[in-house]
């Protein structure tokens, strides 16, 4: 369960954010750290089972499980630094602006779609989606089409 512990809890990632430069670069680096830790969990057979257990625990009664990790899982745990950077104003966020100004809490947003894939569960689809998340974080040349649930390269 070592990989489970590499995904930071809400308190830990919030503290790392507070100790950072609290700028867009720091938000991106910390979010990528979270996404890469999540990817390691998804790709490991034992950790995958633990993730699904955490994901399904209490989801019907607790709207926001991000503070419960590793006992519960909410996909928004991955993007906490980005949310803190813009003080939860999605239209100011690099991701929010490039997903039709939708909140990452939207079911089919870039991060929200993680939950939809976990519900099925579609591990291979989630691994491919994590690649899309990394592409979106690393390049301003892509947008997330919420209705199509896919990345689109834009010409700037």
Q: Pick the closest to residue 78 from 28, 31, 132, 139 (CA basis).
A: 31
Question: Which residues are CB-neighbours of 72 under 8 A, at least 6 positions away?
Answer: 54, 55, 57, 58, 59, 62, 65
Residue 67: per-residue pLDDT: 55
**Where does the pLDDT of residue 114 fall: very low under 50, low under 70, confident under 90, or very high at 90 and above?**
very high
pLDDT at residue 132 greater than cutoff 90:
yes
CA-to-CA separations, 124 to 42, 49, 55, 84, in angstroms, rounded? 9, 14, 17, 30
Q: Pick the closest to residue 75 from 59, 90, 92, 91 (CA basis).
A: 59
CA-to-CA separations, 154 to 2, 27, 43, 121, in angstroms, rounded? 38, 23, 30, 30
Question: Which residues are CB-neighbours of 139 under 8 A, at least 6 positions away?
Answer: none
Q: Where are the domains of the chain?
A: 2-153
Residue 4: per-residue pLDDT: 83
Q: Measure the CA angle with vertex 28, ends 25 and 32; round to 5°.
A: 140
Q: Pick the closest to residue 56 from 40, 78, 73 (CA basis).
A: 73
Mean pLDDT computed over every residue of the chain: 91
**Where does the pLDDT of residue 68 fall: very low under 50, low under 70, confident under 90, or very high at 90 and above?**
confident
pLDDT at residue 123 greater than cutoff 90:
yes
CB 129 within 8 A of CB 117: yes
What is the spatial distance between Cα 99 and Cα 86, in angstroms, rounded to a whole number? Answer: 15
| Weakest-pLDDT range from 7-21, 47-61, 95-109 | 47-61
**Where does the pLDDT of residue 146 fall: very low under 50, low under 70, confident under 90, or very high at 90 and above?**
very high
């Amino acid at each position: 369960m070592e990989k489970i512990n590499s995904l930071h809890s809400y308190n830990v990632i919030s503290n790392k954010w507070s100790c950072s430069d609290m700028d867009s670069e720091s938000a991106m680096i910390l979010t990528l750290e979270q996404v890469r830790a999540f990817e390691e969990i998804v790709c490991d057979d034992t950790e995958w089972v633990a993730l699904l257990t955490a994901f399904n625990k209490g989801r019907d009664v607790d709207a926001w499980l991000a503070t419960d990790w590793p006992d519960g899982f909410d996909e928004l745990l991955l993007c906490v630094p980005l949310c803190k950077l813009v003080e939860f104003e999605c239209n100011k966020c690099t991701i929010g602006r490039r997903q039709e100004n939708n909140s990452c809490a939207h079911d089919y947003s870039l991060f929200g779609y993680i939950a939809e894939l976990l519900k099925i569960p579609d591990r291979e689809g989630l691994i491919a989606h994590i690649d899309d998340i990394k592409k979106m974080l690393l390049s301003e040349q892509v947008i997330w089409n919420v209705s199509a649930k896919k990345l689109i390269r834009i010409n700037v």
